């Protein structure tokens, strides 16, 4: 039993470490990329009009996945089905979208019709225009923010609750909680 608990701790500890380590790297990277391309004022806009709706959509889809997981399939499928799209996007961003940013980002946006020309002059909509031009960075920011909220706070602890008994949790969870700071420091 002691050996099983030790292997469970090591497995869950590595999952938690990897999730937190990648979360910390994404936190630093997303801010740097977006502020450099669009300015700090774009962050508020992308959080309200990008992250908030994406969070609502994610929670809706995740709830649907959870309900369908109750039909006899292992609930760990939910963890994989939720984590894999994030991993795939970040791999795509690093391998394709970021290296091709000069090709994918338009140099300038098309002119607006005369009736809407005042919008192109508006300084308050500068962030919108910059985010539209740097759409891959905005998408990276939204998914990084969503991953941070989802990976550890929902997915990891939900998975841990499925594989750890109540008796094991009393000794294991405090140790995992102490283990979390290591990933933040190393990132």
Alpha helices for the chain (secondary structure H): 2-38, 41-46, 52-69, 76-92, 101-104, 117-121, 126-133, 135-150, 157-163, 166-186
CA distance 16 to 184: 11
Indicate whether 73 pLDDT > 60.
no
- Please tell me the predicted confidence (pLDDT) of residue 67: 74
**Under 8 Å between Cβ of 184 and 177:** no
106-165 tens-digit pLDDT? 887 665 555 555 555 666 677 888 888 999 999 999 999 999 888 777 888 888 888 888
Residue with the larger pLDDT of the pair 51 and 20: 51
Count of beta carbons in the 10 Å neighbourhood of residue 143: 22
pTM for the model: 0.82
User: For the residues 83-105, what does the mean pLDDT come to?
Assistant: 94
Token pair listed for 111: 């002119």
Q: How much is the pLDDT for 117?
A: 58
Q: Distance (Å, rounded) from C-alpha 40 to C-alpha 86?
A: 25
SS3 177: helix
Is the pLDDT reported for residue 76 higher than 80?
Answer: no
pLDDT at 77 over 70: yes
Look at residue 47 in the predicted model and tell me its pLDDT: 94
pLDDT at 93 over 80: yes
Question: Can you read off the two tokens belonging to residue 25?
Answer: 């790297």
What mean pLDDT is reported for the chain?
Answer: 83
The percent helix, strand, coil of the chain (3-state, each to 5) is: 85, 0, 15
Q: Determine the Cα–Cα distance for residues 100 and 93; give it in Å rounded to an integer.
A: 9
| Rounded-to-integer distance, Cα 75 and Cα 73, Å | 6
Q: How far apart are CA 131 and CA 128, in angstroms?
A: 5
Q: pLDDT class for 75, splitting at 50, 70, 90?
A: low
């Amino acid at each position: 039993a002691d050996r099983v608990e030790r292997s469970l701790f090591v497995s869950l500890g590595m999952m938690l470490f990897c999730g937190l380590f990648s979360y910390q790297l994404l936190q630093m990277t997303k801010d740097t990329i977006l502020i450099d391309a669009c300015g700090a004022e774009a962050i508020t806009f992308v959080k309200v009009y990008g992250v908030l709706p994406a969070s609502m959509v994610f929670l809706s889809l995740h709830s649907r996945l959870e309900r369908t997981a109750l039909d006899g399939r292992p609930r760990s499928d939910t963890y994989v089905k939720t984590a894999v799209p994030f991993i795939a996007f970040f791999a795509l961003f690093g391998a394709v979208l970021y290296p091709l940013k000069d090709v994918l980002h338009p140099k300038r946006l098309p002119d607006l019709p005369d009736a809407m020309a005042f919008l192109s002059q508006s300084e308050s909509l500068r962030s919108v225009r910059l985010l539209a031009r740097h759409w891959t960075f905005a998408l990276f920011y939204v998914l990084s923010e969503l991953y941070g909220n989802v990976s550890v706070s929902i997915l990891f602890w939900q998975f841990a609750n499925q594989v750890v008994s109540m008796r094991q949790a009393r000794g294991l969870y405090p140790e995992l909680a102490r283990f979390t700071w290591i990933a933040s420091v190393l990132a």
